[in-house]
Amino acid sequence: MKLESNAFQNGGEIPRKYGYNNDNINPPLIFSDVPNTAKSLALIMDDPDAMGAVGKIWVHWIVWNIEPNVHEIKENSIPPNSIQGKTDFGKTNYGGPAPPDKEHTYVFKLYALDDKLNLDSGSTKSQLEKAMKEYIIAESKLEGRYAP
């Protein structure tokens, strides 16, 4: 399974407009080679580099119950019928990169699951990870850099 963006290369710089203090819209994401047995997809975007600045991995976006036949999330949108969880910004929508100190690497993780999740909107990343743990059949990641 592959996760890509036509806005930035893996390991490349995330364009400014996707930043929290700019347009704060999600970048386009493209999924390919999703397993035929997938019943849903889940996406997590977080910032492991925030550990040094704020003492935890900062959660920027979580989305689940994405239909397995969805092959992209367009810029500034979410897939139909999907559910978003609560980020560390206290909201249930995309929160763009906002490094407080230096350049950070942001990680988008895509999971193919062999079931849909019975998880309420506004659930946290840890609740999502716990709920999907037994259902993950494939995963992929895309990393991007962003500086203040």
**DSSP 3-state of 43:** strand
* CA atoms of 111 and 64, how far apart (whole Å): 9
Domain range for residue 74? 2-146
Between the two ends of the chain, the Cα-to-Cα distance in Å is 31
Average pLDDT of the chain is 97
CB 76 within 8 A of CB 25: yes
The whole-number average pLDDT for the span 104-115 is 98
Encoded tokens for 8: 């930035």
Give pTM, 2 decimals: 0.97
CB 18 within 8 A of CB 101: no
pLDDT tens for each residue of 60-88:
999 999 999 999 999 999 999 999 999 99
The helix (run of H) or strand (run of E) holding residue 33 is none
- CATH number, domain of 117, equals 3.90.280.10
Structurally, how many domains does the chain consist of? 1
pLDDT tens for each residue of 95-106:
999 999 999 999
